[in-house]
A = this chain, B = another copy of it.
Amino acid sequence: MKKIAVIGLGIIGASLGGALTRAGYAVYGTDQDAEAVKKAILRGYIAGEAKRIAEFDAVFIAVPPKATVKILDETPFKDGAFVADICGVKEPMEKTVYSRPRAYRYIGLHPMAGKETSGIDAASVDLFENANLIITVCSQTEESAKTEATSYATALGFGKIVVCSAKEHDKKIALTSQLAHIVSNAYVKSEEISGCEGFTGGSFQDMTRIAGVDERVWTQLYAANRGPILSELTRLIDCLNEYKHALQEEDDKTLCEALRAGRLVRERIKRKED
């Protein structure tokens, strides 16, 4: 039977371990926090500690970007092992992997299934249920790695699976995830925030849910995807300035047209989602 190792037992790693264990795989795990390993065993997410990564047939790397690059660069994986990372950026990982000969089969994964909480205590074996999964591939990706990734995805309960290049992933994700975290984080920094309890509804809850990013992880993610995120952020600021200008000029016609244009985009994507 294949032996699987999960490196990093935070919300994603522990959930991944738990879901693969539930699907019948023999999963072991490791984390720099010994307490997380203990908890993962106790909660049945993993069968035990993963001591020598070189012994494993499949390895999931579930740690922040810089640590992922380091692990991909320095770990002596088993020849032919399936190795996947779950980082929110993909080009730097791919570059690291293919910058020199390697005997393992690499593939990039990005489960669109985070929460506003982190750590093993936020883990859940149902975390990936019906979530989107992005698989990143390039010309060097082994067919068998793709097949294997897809079968893990099925075991983990993912809904829609998208296969694309690391470059496309990084551009799309700058919009669909990275920008959202910056905006939410900036949104709450208002003087009016104090005493706003009772003045809030669903829009405020949704807008601010992910404001509490782990700044160390997200700074790494942004640094690793500077071009695309800068381009999205600039675009959004420019757009907000248009609304601001219309408001200042009391140009309600322009404001109304700007809002209408956004509504039409929203309706188009909503139709595709449904």
Q: Which residues of A contact B (CB under 8 A)?
A: 112-115, 131-132, 134, 160-162, 169, 171-177, 179-193, 195-204, 206-216, 218-219, 222-223, 226, 229-230, 232-237, 239-241, 243-244, 247-248, 250, 252, 255-263, 265-267, 269-270, 272-273
* Contact, CB under 8 Å: A259 / B185: yes
How far is it, in angstroms, between the C-alpha of A226 and the C-alpha of B222 when the chains are bound? Answer: 34
How far is it, in angstroms, between the C-alpha of A223 and the C-alpha of B223 when the chains are bound? Answer: 39
Q: With A132-B199, A192-B232, A215-B263 given, name 4 new contacts (CB 8 A).
A: A112-B200, A208-B269, A212-B270, A213-B262
Main secondary structure of the interface of A (DSSP, over half): helix
User: How many monomers of this protein are in the complex?
Assistant: 2
* Contact, CB under 8 Å: B263 / A213: yes
* Contact, CB under 8 Å: B198 / A162: yes
* Contact, CB under 8 Å: A189 / B261: yes
* Contact, CB under 8 Å: B269 / A188: yes
* Contact, CB under 8 Å: A223 / B252: yes
* Contact, CB under 8 Å: A173 / B188: no
